[in-house]
A = this chain, B = another copy of it.
Amino acid sequence: MFVLGIDPGLSRCGYGGVVREGAGFLARAAGVITTPAGEAVPRRLAMLRHELTRLLDELEPDVVVVERIFFRSNARTAMFVGQASGVALLTAIEHGCSVVEITNAEVKLAVTGYGNASKEQVQGMIARLLGLTEVPGPADVADALALAVCYLGAAPWARAAASSTTGSKRA
């Protein structure tokens, strides 16, 4: 099963594709989609949609895991993340993938066993689980890989939840 994690954002949207390999995991794709800050938001959302569609066409993941956002901090940034998240969920379901949303706290708990783990602890564990000698960067990529690993390895509840949200690819 090929799982693509997406850390949604308008300026930077991280992605990371992971498969199980033996008792461990293997990263098969990782990167960041960016859109120019000077461009209008609707256009940036269309660019994000275009790049995500290209990515899904290329990778054909079975499951797409998108970070579930909560708005507690900067209201303006949060709005952009919410809009990007909506476009990511839409694009994935219309592509026929199973789609699941997972919170950052759930990732931390699943990957490190501790829901209040630091970003560094999660990144270190992700590097170890993926057999990498360095922490994958930038942070958006590490976060996206962590979402995929969480879904694949450490969170049976997430797999159960995902089955209810499978899209059908448009003709």
Q: Could you say which of B71, B83, B93 contacts A42, with CB atoms under 8 Å apart?
A: B93
CB distance from A54 to the nearest CB of B (A): 15
Can you tell how many copies of this chain the complex includes? 2
CB distance from A144 to the nearest CB of B (A): 17
Residues of B within 8 A of A86 (CB): 45, 82-87
Say yes or no: A42-B99 contact (C-beta < 8 A), given A83-B89, A86-B83, A87-B86.
yes
Q: Which of A49-100 contact B (CB under 8 A)?
A: 49, 68-72, 75-76, 78-79, 81-87, 89-90, 92-94, 99
Most chain B CB within 10 A, of A41, A49, A90, A99, is at A90
Interface 1/0 per residue, A15-42 and B, CB below 8 Å: 0000000000000000000000000111
Interface membership of A167, Cβ < 8 A:
yes
A89-B8 Cα distance, complex, nearest whole Å: 16
Interface membership of A164, Cβ < 8 A:
yes
Interface membership of A121, Cβ < 8 A:
no
Q: Could you say which of B42, B71, B85, B167 contacts A89, with CB atoms under 8 Å apart?
A: B42
Residues of B within 8 A of A117 (CB): none
| 9 closest Cβ pairs, A-B complex | A82-B82, A83-B86, A86-B86, A42-B93, A40-B165, A71-B71, A42-B89, A42-B99, A45-B90
A/B interface sample: 10 pairs, CB < 8 A: A41-B89, A42-B167, A43-B165, A45-B86, A49-B90, A69-B79, A70-B75, A70-B79, A83-B83, A90-B90
